[in-house]
A and B are shown apart, each in its own frame.
Chain A
Amino acid sequence: MDIRNKISAIYSLEQLSAGNTVVHRLHPMSKLIVTFVFIATVISFGRHDFGRLVPFIFYPTILMALSETPYTMLLKRVLIAIPFCLFIGISNLILEQDTAFKIGTIDVSFGVLSFSVILYRVYLCVMAVLLLVAVTPFIELTAQLRRLKIPNIFTLMFEMTYRYIGVLLAEAVSMRMAYVLRGAKAKGVDIRHAGSFIGCLLLRSFARAERIYSAMKCRGYMIKNTTLARKKFCITDITYCALICVLCLLFRFVDVGNWITTLVEKIL
């Protein structure tokens, strides 16, 4: 794949935020609050509460449908996070071998249960964040973070890191091409040259980042700028916030999952 396509793929999710569905039109603050409440509720469960986490699938499913976000695009990105949780959860399979319950004649250990909880929880949380990015322009998201009094240094770092991923990647690819074309190893950079290659890459990226930052400043960008996207928080936003938060709290404190698992057990 051409470098432009690779970089474009990184930002393709953000391009979806230009949509005009009912979810896109919501106030960015309401989406930020809901995502925060959803993630906080999901991570508040115990490590064996798989059944109680099941109903939380409602949020990404409904949001995805309403915002017309393609599932495969989100799934590809969720899969990037999966190896990390596999690494974390694998020890549970070994350490917790007591039987938690049976599905037919198959024993399900506590290890399998906690492993499943880790995977499912990561899936839900990453999906929630990806959906937030897919339905909210990045510039509005950072403006809302500033309004929430998140220190400027953090929002600025967040913004710059996001913007400069593409810059770093583009510089790395053009340098590697120049390296390969001058008869060096076709695959990767020789270990003898790696130090100067990485050093040079960082310096070039730094210089490029400086130019981009100058271009931003020339068009009125200020670190303390909070005048962006002054949409009004309307009744739809309040309803959306209230509805999702109440559902999250309901699923947190009422064991809806237990009803579902009992039902599944009865069927099986």
Chain B
Amino acid sequence: MMLDISKLVIVYPDKTKAVDKFSLTINTGERIALVGPNGAGKTTLMLAIMGVLPITEGHIEIGGIRVEKKTLNEIRSRAGLIFQNPDDQLFMATIYDDIAFGPRNYGLAEEDVRKRVEQTLLELDIIRLKERSSLKLSEGEKRLAAIASVLSMQPSVLLFDEPTAFLDLKARRNLIRLLNNMPYTKLIASHDLTFLEEVCGKAVLMKDGTVFAQGLPKDLFHNKKLMEDCGLEAI
């Protein structure tokens, strides 16, 4: 298995229990949709997987390596998180530097960094953005640049937090095509159910920090009673 979350509990310093005994196993190459109302704990879960938030109870393993302080470097090279707002992820002077940020932090030689950046830009067909500043890109371009900044680290697992936020229909369509062509293991948190139906093979409904239901997206997202009980709207 690629990602194993077992009885995970995350409690914030103000005692709020954001994630409560959450368990989930994702196999290599699987694409899982994570759906839940606002405040269900989706973003918290993703930050905990990346080792940004401390785990109160339970454990997370990525490719057999447990997420803990001493393994953070290894974990963050295996998993990549694409944030909801690309502006949070693009903070360097040029897109090249943003994409090179991760590989440079891992001590790659500048020549290897250049190769990786160019390979990633070509893969996403955004080589034209190489020397541009993120401040002057459209939201669709920013989203692709944010994905590139994570792909350049060559992770095995990709975590997406609301990837269709801020995107127009064309950019959303391009993103669907891109995600469907990516061979990575993916966990995608979103409120965009039709998007998730097109991209994911399995869905997990999350409520109050725990797993409410799981199954095929088409079975869950069209079940009016189940979705309403989870605090959501069916398609």
Contact status B76-A220, CB under 8 Å: yes
The reply to whether the CB of A221 lies closer than 8 angstroms to some CB of chain B is yes
Chain B: interface residue total (CB-CB under 8 A): 35
Contacts of A214 in B (CB 8 A): 47, 50, 52, 83, 88
For chain A, which range describes its interface: under 10, 10 to 19, 20 to 34, or 35 or more residues?
Answer: 20 to 34
Known: A8-B136, A219-B150. A163 touches B110 (CB 8 A): no
Find out whether the CB atom of B109 lies under 8 angstroms from the CB atom of A218. Answer: no
**Given known contacts A218-B52, A219-B153, A227 and B106 CB-to-CB distance under 8 angstroms:** yes
Query: Least Cβ distance of A207 to chain B in Å?
Result: 10
Query: Which residues of B have CB within 8 Å of A222?
Result: 73, 105
In the assembly, what is the distance between CA of A227 and CA of B104, in Å?
8
- Contact of A220 with B83 in the complex, beta carbons under 8 Å: no
B152–chain A nearest beta-carbon distance, Å:
9
Known: A212-B88, A212-B91, A219-B149. A137 touches B105 (CB 8 A): no
**A14 to chain B: which residues have CB within 8 Å?**
93
A15 to B109, CA, bound (A): 21
In the complex, chain B residues whose CB is within 8 Å of the CB of A185: none
CB-CB < 8 A to A211: which residues of B? 83, 85, 88
B91 touches A216 (CB 8 A): yes
- Tell me, rounded to whole Å, the shortest Cβ–Cβ distance linking B68 to chain A: 15
Residues from chain A with Cβ under 8 Å of B88 in the complex: 208, 211-212, 214-215
A147 close to chain B: CB less than 8 A: no
User: What's the minimum C-beta distance from A29 to chain B, rounded to whole angstroms?
Assistant: 15
Instruction: Determine if B94 and A217 form an interchain contact, defined as CB atoms under 8 angstroms apart.
Output: no
Q: How far, in angstroms, from A203 to B149 measured CA to CA in the complex? A: 27
Q: Is the CB of A230 within 8 A of B107?
A: yes
Please tell me if B92 contacts chain A, counting CB pairs below 8 Å.
yes
CA distance A163 to B61 in the complex (A): 33
Roughly how many angstroms separate A8 CA and B52 CA in the complex, as a whole number?
29
Are the CB atoms of A137 and B97 closer together than 8 Å? yes
Q: How far is the CA of A63 from the CA of B113 in the complex (A)?
A: 28
Q: With both chains docked as a complex, state the minimum distance between the C-beta of B67 and any C-beta of chain A, in angstroms.
A: 12
Chain A positions 1 through 20: 1 when the CB is less than 8 Å from some CB of chain B, otherwise 0: 00010011001001101100
Q: How far is the CA of A230 from the CA of B135 in the complex (A)?
A: 29
Say whether B80 contacts A218, CB under 8 Å.
Answer: yes
Q: Is the Cβ of B50 less than 8 Å from the Cβ of A218?
A: yes
How far, in whole Å, are A231 and B73 apart by their CA atoms in the complex?
Answer: 23
The docked-state distance in angstroms from the alpha carbon of A4 to that of B107 is 32
- Please pick, from A15, A18, A228, the residue contacting B105 in the complex, using a CB distance under 8 A: A228
Q: Is A94 an interface residue (CB 8 A)?
A: no
CB<8 Å pairs between A and B, sample of 7: A137-B97, A139-B92, A217-B76, A218-B52, A220-B73, A220-B105, A229-B104
- Which A residues are within 8 Å of any B CB, using their own CB? 4, 7-8, 11, 14-15, 17-18, 137-139, 163, 166, 170, 208, 211-212, 214-222, 225, 227-231
Given contact pairs A214-B50, A227-B106, a sample of 6 additional A-B residue pairs in the complex whose CB atoms are under 8 Å apart: A7-B135, A163-B91, A214-B83, A220-B77, A220-B106, A227-B107
